[in-house]
Structure 1
Amino acid sequence: MDKRLMWATVAVVVAVLALIGRLAWVQVVWGPALAEQAHEQRARVYVEPARRGEITDRSGTPMAYTMQARSLTVSPDLLRKELREQDFNEMRAAGATEGVSEEEVARRLDDSVEKTLREMADQIPEMIAASSSDDAETPGAADPDDRDSDEKDPERNSDRDDKSDRDNKDKDSEKKGSEKDDEASGEVDPDEILDKLHADTHYEVLVRNVDPDVATEIAARFHGVAADHQDVRQYPNGAVGDNVVGRVSMDGQGQFGLEASADATLTGINGRTTEDVSTDGQVIPGTLRDAVPAEDGESVSLTLDLELQTYVQQLLEQAKANSGAKSAEAVVLDAHTAEILAMANTGTIDPNGDVEKQVEQGKDFENPTISAPFEPGSVAKIMTAAAAIEEGETTPDEVHQVPGTIDMAGVTVRDAWDHGTVPYTTTGIFGKSSNVGTLMLAQRVGEDRFADYLNRFGIGQPTGVELPNESAGLLPTREQWSGGTFANLPIGQGMSVTALQMAGVFQALANGGERVEPRIIREVTGPDGQVREQEAPATTRVVSPETARTVIDMFRAVTQEDPSGNQQGTGANGAIEGYQTSGKTGTAQKIDPDTGAYSMSDYWITFGGVAPADDPRYVIAVMVDDPDRGVEPGGSGGQSAAPIYRDIGSWLLNRDNVPLSKPMEGRLVLQAG
Structure 2
Amino acid sequence: MVRPAEPNNRIRKRETANVPVRQSQITNRRSSWFAVAFLVLAAVLIGRLFWVQVVWGPELREQAQAQRARVYTEPARRGEIVDREGNQLAYTMQARSLTVSPVTLRNEIRQQQELQMRVDGLSRDSIDAQIDARVEDVLRTMANEIPSMIGDGVVEEDAASSSESSNRKVGDVSSREILDKLHADSDYEVLVRNVDPDVAATIAQTFHGVAADHQDIRQYPNGAIGENVLGRVSMDGHGQFGLEASGDSMLTGINGSSREDVSGDGQAIPGTLRDVVPAVDGSRVELTIDLDLQTYVQQTLEQAKENSQALDAQAVVLDARTGEVLAMANTGTIDPNGDLEKQLSEGRDFENDSISHPFEPGSVAKVITAAAAIEEGLTDPFEVHQVPGSIDMAGVTVSDAWPHGVVPYTTAGIFGKSSNVGTLQLAQRLGEERYWDYLQRFGLGQTTGIELPNETAGLLPVREQWSGGTFANLPIGQGMSWSALQMASVYQALANGGERIEPRVISRVIGPDGQEVDQPKPEHTRVVSEETAHTVVDMFRSVFQSDPAGVQSGTAGGNELEGYQLAGKTGTAQKVNSETGAYSQHQFWITFAGIAPADDPRFVVAVMLDEPKRGPLEGGAGGQSAAPVFTQIANWLLNRENVPPSPPADPYILQAD
Same topology, TM > 0.5 = yes
- TM-score w.r.t. the length of structure 2 is 0.89
1:126–1:186 Cα contact (<8 Å) kept: no
CA 64–117 in structure 1, closer or farther in 2 if over 3 Å, else same: farther
In 1, distance between residues paired with 2:57 and 2:111? 27
The 3-state SS of whatever aligns with 2:173 is coil
The 3-state SS of whatever aligns with 1:230 is strand
Q: Report the equivalent of 2:408.
A: 423
Q: Which one is further off, 205-214 or 559-568? A: 205-214
CA 116–370 in structure 1, closer or farther in 2 if over 3 Å, else same: farther
CA 189–411 in structure 1, closer or farther in 2 if over 3 Å, else same: farther
Unaligned segments of structure 1, at least 5 residues: 137-182
Q: Report the equivalent of 2:516.
A: 531
Which amino acid letter does the alignment assign opposite residue 314 of structure 1?
Q
CA 210–573 in structure 1, closer or farther in 2 if over 3 Å, else same: same
1:42–1:278 Cα contact (<8 Å) kept: yes
Which amino acid letter does the alignment assign opposite residue 311 of structure 1?
Y
In 1, distance between residues paired with 2:464 and 2:590? 30
The 3-state SS of whatever aligns with 1:133 is coil
Q: Could you tell me which of 18, 21, 43 is aligned with 2:44?
A: 18
Q: Report the equivalent of 1:288.
A: 273
Q: Which one is further off, 653-662 or 570-579? A: 570-579
Deviation at 1:92, TM superposition (A): 7.8
Deviation at 1:543, TM superposition (A): 0.6
Deviation at 1:120, TM superposition (A): 4.1
CA 186–426 in structure 1, closer or farther in 2 if over 3 Å, else same: closer
In 2, distance between residues paired with 1:118 and 1:42? 34
Q: Could you tell me which of 152, 158, 163 is aligned with 1:133?
A: 152
Q: Could you tell me which of 50, 55, 72 is aligned with 2:98?
A: 72
Deviation at 1:347, TM superposition (A): 0.8
The 3-state SS of whatever aligns with 1:522 is strand
In 2, distance between residues paired with 1:12 and 1:26? 20
1:477 and 2:444 equivalent?
no
2:386–2:408 Cα contact (<8 Å) kept: yes
The 3-state SS of whatever aligns with 2:151 is helix
In 2, distance between residues paired with 1:356 and 1:210? 24
1:211 and 2:196 equivalent?
yes
Q: Report the equivalent of 1:670.
A: 654
1:580 and 2:565 equivalent?
yes
Q: Could you tell me which of 441, 458, 465 is aligned with 2:443?
A: 458
CA 93–6 in structure 1, closer or farther in 2 if over 3 Å, else same: farther
In 1, distance between residues paired with 2:468 and 2:175? 70
Deviation at 1:661, TM superposition (A): 0.3
In 2, distance between residues paired with 1:193 and 1:288? 36
In 2, distance between residues paired with 1:135 and 1:547? 69
Which amino acid letter does the alignment assign opposite residue 461 of structure 1?
Q
Deviation at 1:127, TM superposition (A): 1.9
Q: Report the equivalent of 2:5.
A: none
The 3-state SS of whatever aligns with 1:531 is coil
Q: Which one is further off, 279-288 or 120-129? A: 120-129
In 1, distance between residues paired with 2:538 and 2:93? 51
CA RMSD of aligned residues (A): 2.5
Q: Report the equivalent of 1:395.
A: 380
1:184–1:207 Cα contact (<8 Å) kept: no
Which amino acid letter does the alignment assign opposite residue 393 of structure 1?
L
CA 6–261 in structure 1, closer or farther in 2 if over 3 Å, else same: same
In 2, distance between residues paired with 1:34 and 1:557? 88
In 1, distance between residues paired with 2:129 and 2:61? 36
2:143–2:178 Cα contact (<8 Å) kept: no
Deviation at 1:17, TM superposition (A): 3.1
CA 193–256 in structure 1, closer or farther in 2 if over 3 Å, else same: farther
1:346-425 counterparts in 2 under 5 A? 346-425=331-410
2:147–2:173 Cα contact (<8 Å) kept: no
How big is each residue's C-alpha offset from its partner over 1:484-533, in whole Å with a ceiling of 9 and x where there is no partner? 10010000000000000000000000001000000000001122222223
Q: Report the equivalent of 1:331.
A: 316
1:63 and 2:49 equivalent?
no
The 3-state SS of whatever aligns with 2:224 is coil
The 3-state SS of whatever aligns with 1:329 is strand
Deviation at 1:449, TM superposition (A): 0.5
CA 543–251 in structure 1, closer or farther in 2 if over 3 Å, else same: same
1:54–1:300 Cα contact (<8 Å) kept: yes
Identity within the alignment, %? 65
1:228 and 2:213 equivalent?
yes
Q: Report the equivalent of 2:72.
A: 46
Q: Report the equivalent of 2:421.
A: 436
Unaligned segments of structure 2, at least 5 residues: 1-22, 156-168
1:122–1:190 Cα contact (<8 Å) kept: no
Q: Could you tell me which of 173, 189, 208 is aligned with 1:187?
A: 173
In 2, distance between residues paired with 1:520 and 1:191? 45
Deviation at 1:117, TM superposition (A): 7.4
Q: Could you tell me which of 264, 278, 297 is aligned with 1:312?
A: 297
The 3-state SS of whatever aligns with 2:360 is coil
- TM-score w.r.t. the length of structure 1 is 0.87
Q: Which one is further off, 435-444 or 532-541? A: 532-541
Q: How many residues align?
A: 618
Larger Rg: 2
CA 528–186 in structure 1, closer or farther in 2 if over 3 Å, else same: same
1:272 and 2:257 equivalent?
yes
1:511 and 2:496 equivalent?
yes
In 2, distance between residues paired with 1:197 and 1:442? 79
Q: Report the equivalent of 2:531.
A: 546
1:397–1:425 Cα contact (<8 Å) kept: yes
In 2, distance between residues paired with 1:574 and 1:349? 31
Q: Could you tell me which of 591, 600, 604 is aligned with 2:589?
A: 604
In 2, distance between residues paired with 1:278 and 1:108? 34
The 3-state SS of whatever aligns with 1:573 is coil
Deviation at 1:204, TM superposition (A): 4.1
In 2, distance between residues paired with 1:184 and 1:280? 34
CA 120–186 in structure 1, closer or farther in 2 if over 3 Å, else same: farther
